[in-house]
Amino acid sequence: MKKQFTTGQLASFFNINIQTLYYYDKIGLFSPRERARSSSIRHYSFDQIYELSTILYLKRIGLSLDEIKDSLSNLTPQTAKVRLLEKSEELKRNWEEIHRIDDAIHRKLEYVEKEKLIKDHDSKKVIYREKRRYLSMGDENVLFGTDSFYFYPTIAIYSPVGKTFGALLDENEELKGKVDDSSILTIEKGYYLVDYHIGRYETIQEHRMKIKEERPDLKFTGTMYNFNIYDQFNSSSPDDYLTKMEFQLDVNTFL
């Protein structure tokens, strides 16, 4: 085995970019044992391969360069154990977050595909719905700062007292202990007139008034639930947005 390595030789030995060694030297993390005065050639001694392998190991398990520098200055079997346990816990948290995001992706995909299939069947029909749950997200001022906005299908709720937003929950989803119970609200069971709106959200109110004019035989409560199917996450053009409109009907409508 060679007793000394140039920067290029050491980089090749560990299969890393030569610039990585230059950078480690620059920040004082890992420097060559010798430097030729007459040139820029640097030499690393054989025993330094153990130090570099430790740095690359700690980097691979996720430690930052600052954490690695701190670890190298007081590395013992005990401190190594603590670092590894801390990193293991961090990885578990990251893994749980990745699963949460993956679940959200599939939940949205399944919702969009299901709604696409039933769109033509449900359009302009009166349909009985069982009660459904949603997470309250408040008004538009706080909407975009909530995780629920990004992870669940969005509902815009128009009522006589104003407009609020919610995140539609899967009927089998268990949220106990994950959110405040008071934030889980219910869309009442009952009859709803269903229609679909294609286009910008600003034109929904016009569509809403037109539907009511077309159905003078129905008694509307004044509450409408808008379920986003295609929104800004599906299309860059607002003209392509697809929204399911559900008009809540008065219980006396069919008496």
Instruction: Give the three-class secondary structure for 153.
Output: coil
Q: What is the pLDDT of residues 77-113, one digit of tens each?
A: 888 888 889 888 988 998 888 888 888 888 888 888 8
Q: What percent of the chain has pLDDT over 70?
A: 92
CATH topology of domain 4-75: Multidrug-efflux Transporter Regulator; Chain: A; Domain 2 (1.10.1660)
Q: What is the pLDDT of residues 123-178, one digit of tens each?
A: 888 999 999 999 888 887 777 777 777 888 899 999 988 899 998 988 766 665 56
The DSSP bridge partners found for residue 205 are: none
Instruction: Give the three-class secondary structure for 77.
Output: helix
CATH topology of domain 97-254: Multidrug-efflux Transporter 1 Regulator Bmrr; Chain A (3.20.80)
d(CA 11, CA 240): 52
CB 200 within 8 A of CB 238: yes
Domain range annotation of the chain: 4-75, 97-254
- The end-to-end CA distance of the chain, in Å, is 94
Quick one: tokens of 35?
């430097």
